[in-house]
Amino acid sequence: MKGMKADIKKPKHMKQFILKIFTSILVLSSGMYVQAQQPNQVFKAAGSPVNPKVTVTWNRYYDHAGISEICKKIAAAYPDLAKLQSIGKSYEGRDLWCLTITDFKKGNADTKPGMYIDGNIHSNEIQGAEFALYTAWYLTESFGDTKFIQELLEDKVFYIVPTINPDARDSYMHKPNTGSSPRSGVIPVDNDGDGLVNEDSYDDINKDGHITMMRRKNPNGRWKVDPKDPRNMIQVGPDEKGDYELLGIEGIDNDGDGRVNEDGYTFEYDPNRDWGWGWQPNYIQNGAYKYPFSLPENRAVMEFVMKHPNIAAAQSFHNAGGMILRGPGGQEDVGTYNAQDIAVYDAIAKKGEELIPGYKYLVVYKDLYSAYGGELDWFYAGRGIYTYSNELWTPFLMYMRDATRDPFDNASFSFDRYLLFQDAFVPWAEYDHPQYGKIEVGGMKKNFGRAHPGFLLESDAHRNMAFSIYHGFHTPKLEVFEITEKDLGDGLKEVTAVITNSRLMPTHSSQDVKNKIERPDYITLTTSGKIISGMVVENRDLNLSTEQEQNPATIEVANIPGLGSVTVKWIVQGGGKYTVSVDSKKGGTVSASK
């Protein structure tokens, strides 16, 4: 009590005490600080959750702690729709979170056809994490009033890993970097042999919080100020004198070796060259690390996928360029994609071009470059999973028309000026550089050029999410369409069953069938009679069948085609009621009785 009396005598403490009481009253009474609007104050916009349990602002980016918090909130708010687990640890010990999204009240999640989604394998390609996380949020928040989502999650399961490079994501966000680097992780590197690790990467020399560009006035320079926009630099023609020379990215030669920003980036491993298909060492494929799955993050994803053979489709999110990519990464693997699988890829990706304006469907090796040891190739060629990699963001989105992909052209500067109000640019300012003397520092911030501006982030996340849902929707959906019985005499019956697949994807891709990656589909007849014979019907009209000599009750089928069917039949002695059950690793389980 004495201490309390002493505090009351001090006006400063009394003001703090009163302020705390007043703040608590506001929070507990009106809820103004907890919820901006009451449910009866809002009107639902079509296609968007109206009163989400988990409120997330999708016009910004989140570091690993922020992603972790959102994942935990989704799992806590929707225990019947979302389960959260860590599928492994990053190099620095961060959790690789995975949200499993399905209707856990309907069926076994482990046997439903699965869709795997991840993002942010490259540290500077950050929005992939938000796009993946938006998908988990949208599925859970829309489930209550959207019949399509209810039916989707009854049939399918989504495995969503927002970031598979959390260490480098945090490094990119919280440390000095440019919009284009680093791509790798944070494994320590001492490239110059001076005993210091990563000490001469990017220096924020003027301490403004941004890594931009350096320029120096030079009457014989090859650059000049753009007359259309003084913030921009343009190269002069061969017969023209410039006013400036560009010195490169902001930085200092800290170790005195004559190079700026080189330590930690002379060799920059690429986690998308570390997968176990078509892997090549670094001297062939630049960026490869020690051996396939030598990085703990990639190894964790591989082990998760191997433990979930129900995954039939996959999506990874990168940036930038506005592309829907499929493999192969190298021309040597052209033969892994046959006509049947390409037809499935083409059908889904063409719909993607409709859903995501400005995005183009391309093949990596043919339309871009050769890349070996990529995630895209391992998922499809190694596991038989239909997989796309979307390169997020395209300058098309700035003015909804085709534009150059150069982030330093006039279209970008115009967009920054009139739509971002020059928030993406650091004005040129003089700086006395210890090596270069009097220079100027300025340029685009790292959050523009590859990353979406805030107001376009949610829109493009929604469209890419819709593409992923369309992709997941077309994983197999099986049905025991028909069970018929024919009396053969002498107490024998012929029982015929037709199993249909109403979606684009077969239960096994051609790559899967060719390499026997996954076991065949099982079609089982259960009856009180004795099953004498079981067979696969090749032509029902001509009565052409192939008998399975062993274990006739459970017929093994190599594949149930997309938008197709298979027919099987049994010869049964005695019995009456029949139950036909289908067990497919990627097609799920169904049964019917007659």
The H or E element spanning position 99 is strand 95-101
Backbone phi, psi, residue 305, to 5°: -65, -40
Give dist(CA 443, CA 179) in Å, integer.
11
Give dist(CA 511, CA 382) in Å, integer.
8
Backbone phi, psi, residue 289, to 5°: -95, -140
Give dist(CA 116, CA 253) in Å, integer.
44
Other Cβ atoms within 10 Å of 11 Cβ, number: 8
Is 391 assigned a catalytic role? yes
Contact 531, 580 (CB under 8 A): no
Q: Is 393 helix (H, G, I), strand (E, B) or coil?
A: coil
Give dist(CA 505, CA 492) in Å, integer.
37
Token duo for residue 305: 């996928």
Q: Is 333 helix (H, G, I), strand (E, B) or coil?
A: helix
Beta bridge partners of 117: 160, 315
Beta bridge partners of 565: 500
Q: Residues 484-504, buried b or exposed e (16+ Cβ, 10 A)?
A: eeeeeeeebbebbbbbbbebb
Token duo for residue 363: 């093949």
Give the alpha-carbon dihedral of 89, 93, 99, 104, to 10 degrees. Answer: 70
Measured CA distances, 65 to 132, 214, 458 (Å)? 16, 33, 20
Of 317, 410, 278, which is closest to residue 121 (Cα–Cα)? 317
Other Cβ atoms within 10 Å of 413 Cβ, number: 21
For 193, left (φ over 0), alpha (ψ -120 to 50), or beta? left
Q: Which 8-state DSSP code applies to residue 30?
A: T
Give the end-to-end CA distance of the chain in Å, rounded to a whole number: 82
Contact 112, 310 (CB under 8 A): yes
Of 309, 308, 316, which is closest to residue 374 (Cα–Cα)? 316
Give dist(CA 457, CA 130) in Å, integer.
9
For 574, left (φ over 0), alpha (ψ -120 to 50), or beta? left
Catalytic residue, chosen from 141, 250, 297, 391, is: 391
Contact 312, 114 (CB under 8 A): yes
Q: 405, exposed or middle or buried, with CB in 10 Å at 0-12, 13-18, 19+?
A: middle
Q: Which residues form the catalytic set?
A: 391
